[in-house]
Amino acid sequence: MFILIKNSSIYSPKFIGEKDILICNDKIVEIGENLNYTFKDLITIDGKGMKCVPGFMDTHMHIIGGGGEAGCITRVPEIPLSTFITSGLTTVTGLLGTDSITRDIETLVAKTKSLNESGMNAYCLTGSYTFPSPTLTGDIQKDIVFIHEIIGVKLAISDHRSSAITVDELERLALHTRVAGMVGAKKSFVELHIGTAKTYIDIIFKVLERGQTPASAFKPTHISRSKELFKEGIKFNKMGGYIDITSCLASHLPMDQSFAMLKEENAILDRVTLSSDGNGSWNRCDSDGKIIEIGKSSCNEVHNGIKVLVENKILSLEDALPFATSNTAGGLGIAHERGSIKENYYADLLLLDDKLDIDTVIANGNIMMQNREVLKKGYYE
């Protein structure tokens, strides 16, 4: 199948001008001016007045639902395919949250497979908040090596719902994950949910001080939960690690403050990403720790985060996009084939209007949404 996108302003994510893009099956095969082809069954999309950007990537999503912290009635349901599409997401990483009792890795892998079968690009993490980590095969290394979709392990630290992992245990987990990534030819990592405890990411620094584990073995998320935590996150970033900002949450630092701190502290911006925590639960507790309000995070916060950065003149569009595209691809080890608009890359593309709202979504060369109409829905939607 051939798709020709005409006359859009292309952000690769760097702005490269108004050009045409030719897609064959799942790849971008040509980018240029005034491309004219007459292939049989060629689909032509008029991109005039539109901005063509790489598909958004979100590496922290509760694709089979989060929640459950106020009883089983508060378990958040699975994310339907159309929600990913309307959020502009072409690559996602799914994971478990607090509840690995009524949810499991088997279901998570099955959901990830279904998203890939639907035309998206999806991965998942073994493990959960708890340690020892729940797995599919009984072994974290075997999960990573033998299960194509699994690219790392999830764990929670500095959180009252975590397992209070020790420095020795975290170091061993990171080293095992790293070796599994080598054997499985994946850029595997330990993704760390950071809670509200004042220990912040001190345990990561203690592991790094021992000298066996590189900073790239860890990927802390929710890093803008507080100013103090964010400062530690920037320190970690400058040591060689990726840090992940949960976009647009009211309980976290405002985006303008976060990005001002990144600039002031000379953070390595290529190793900073945005994610949504989509479909994960949030809650508010009273003084006794009893949950008095609970809800779920929106799945479109990566898109919203980009809009906030641009509309509030914090960053230009080409400077904002990497945090949801090329940076994220780098952290996943797939920057050689995704996260940018280049020839021979996978055709993961969005067309945005002048308000940066999503008009068209193409994932792996599949037109998932066009003219704001979702064309591909989940099997039972």
Q: Which residues are catalytic?
A: 277
Antiparallel, parallel or unpaired: β 27-32 and 150-157? unpaired
Q: How many CB atoms lie within 10 A of CB 233?
A: 31
Rounded to a whole number of angstroms, the distance between the first and last alpha carbons of the chain is 26
Q: Which residues partner with 93 through β-bridges?
A: 123
Structure tokens at 68: 């459950």
Residue with tokens 């996150």: 233
Q: Rounded to whole angstroms, how far apart are CA atoms 18 and 69?
A: 49
DSSP secondary structure, 95-154, as one string: ---S--SSS-HHHHHHHHHHHHHTT-EEEEEEE-SSSSPP-SSSSHHHHHHH-TTEEEEE
Q: Rounded to whole angstroms, how far apart are CA atoms 35 and 147?
A: 41
Angle at 331 between CA 326 and CA 334, to 5 degrees: 65
Q: How many CB atoms lie within 10 A of CB 77?
A: 10
